[in-house]
Amino acid sequence: MSKFVILVTGASSGFGLMTARSLAEAGHTVYATMRETTGRNAPQVAAVAAWATEHKADLRTAELDVQSEASAEAGIAHVIADAGRLDVIVHNAGHMVFGPAEAFTPDQFIQQYDVNVLGAQRVNRAALPHLRGQGKGLLVWLGSSSTRGGTPPFLAPYFAAKAAMDALAVSYSTELALWGIETTIMVPGAFTKGTNHFAHSGKPSDAVRVAEYEAGPYAGIADRALKGLASLEPADADPSEVAREIVRVVNMPFGKRPFRVHVDPSQDGAEIVNGVADRMRREIYRNIGLEELLHPAAVG
């Protein structure tokens, strides 16, 4: 197995931290990136350093705020200067909100897109010149089963942003293949326990409209939606399975990595719908004479 230099965004907690630790345990050099490393996240930086020492793993931290172009460029430059190269990017940074779509202001929608979509774009623009130059690399995108599976109410801004991120990842995959850069979209289901996703979710700014929904025909629907999601999840659902699947994909040989991997204990149907959509995508590329873009090219 090759040892890679890997950057994970949004790695202060949740899937990001689990993934960074698992990849480091597997023998890779991993940069758990996060914002405010000397401020709000200073305790996480110390915890990561202590964990790395205890487990004799090469897990490092680096400052990278995906909402800042300058921070993304500086973070990528730091990793390349520190490690000498960069092989894998795990696009994990994201944030969830919960509430009636109408009660979110346009600025709140912009914030969702900024973190979940533009954050990945900033990191790509900083890192891809390096990956293209070395002729080999891997992008792992943390998607969501919500983009094609069951979509319970009151998660519209988050679902819309994750759908946009998925579409971006799909387009990038064929635009990077001939540069020798692979793409894997990891599709977790709705893990309601074991991550901070739901606990740290944002709320609508327009409290008046929220109250109108809660006092009207949608009274109790939000609570039923959350309880319903939780009830679909098997008792033994383990969010660290997502991290293990990312390790498995990273450790696979070049050219053999899957385009999409579903980790969805609740089985909300995303795997079935994605299977059809991805097959149609392959057929279209064949029909327009661009089938070679569906497979990463060995460069150099």
Annotated catalytic sites, by residue? 158
User: Which single residue is written with the structure tokens 């969010």?
Assistant: 239
Distance (Å, whole) CA 228 – CA 234: 12
Structure tokens at 187: 């599709």
Q: Which residues neighbour 21 within 8 Å (Cβ) at sequence distance 6 or greater? A: 51, 55, 57, 59, 243
**DSSP-derived secondary structure for 262-286:** EE-TT--SHHHHHHHHHHHHHHHHH
CA-based diameter of the chain, in Å? 64
β-pair partners for 22: none
Could you tell me if residue 105 is left (phi over 0), alpha (psi between -120 and 50 degrees) or otherwise beta? beta
What is the 8-class DSSP label of residue 33?
Answer: E
Q: How many Cα atoms sit within 13 Å of 69 on the Cβ side?
A: 3
Tell me which residue of 27, 34, 85 sits closest to 59, measured CA to CA.
Answer: 27
Residue 257 to residues 79, 92, 193, Cα–Cα distance (Å): 24, 18, 28
